[in-house]
Amino acid sequence: MKRKLVAGAMGVLLGAAIADPTRAEQSELSVFLFGRYYDDGITAIPITQDPSEDERHPSYFLYPARMRIAQQMVMGDPSLLAALARRKIAVHNVLWVQTAANGGRIIYYR
């Protein structure tokens, strides 16, 4: 009996946590459990340490000229500006922008 009650409670909580695709906003429980979901084809990746110390990140983060080019690319694209605004990322923090294989964008920022 106790297992059925726990299973029923978990089903109700998970049902409330999963965002309905027809709704424009996620519930707070869904955001807490699964993180915020942006359906805009843009992935933002934070770079939290010095890229020269991390071999996983390309060395093009180290060049200020490339950072300026990436920031100009963002300033020229309204969809990228809107995506950064939704994620609360300032344009001057953008390090690099790449185009993914599926046509989406990948934004590296600090």
Reading the chain (110 residues) residue by residue, the pLDDT tens digits are 777 666 666 666 666 555 455 455 778 887 788 777 777 889 888 887 665 565 665 565 667 888 899 999 999 999 999 999 989 999 999 988 999 999 899 999 88
pLDDT of residue 19: 46
Per-residue DSSP letter, 26: -
pLDDT of residue 105: 92
Give residue 34's Cα distance to chain centre. 12
- Residue 69 phi/psi, 5° resolution? -60, -45
Task: Let me know whether 70 and 82 are in one domain.
Answer: yes
Q: pTM for the whole thing?
A: 0.62
Query: Could you tell me the residue range of the domain that residue 93 belongs to?
Result: 41-110
Task: Let me know whether 56 and 4 are in one domain.
Answer: no
Task: Let me know whether 5 and 33 are in one domain.
Answer: yes
Task: Let me know whether 78 and 107 are in one domain.
Answer: yes
pLDDT of residue 47: 81
Task: Let me know whether 101 and 82 are in one domain.
Answer: yes
Q: How many domains does the chain have?
A: 2
Task: Let me know whether 73 and 97 are in one domain.
Answer: yes
Task: Let me know whether 79 and 33 are in one domain.
Answer: no
Residue pair 32/93 in contact by the 8 Å Cβ criterion: no
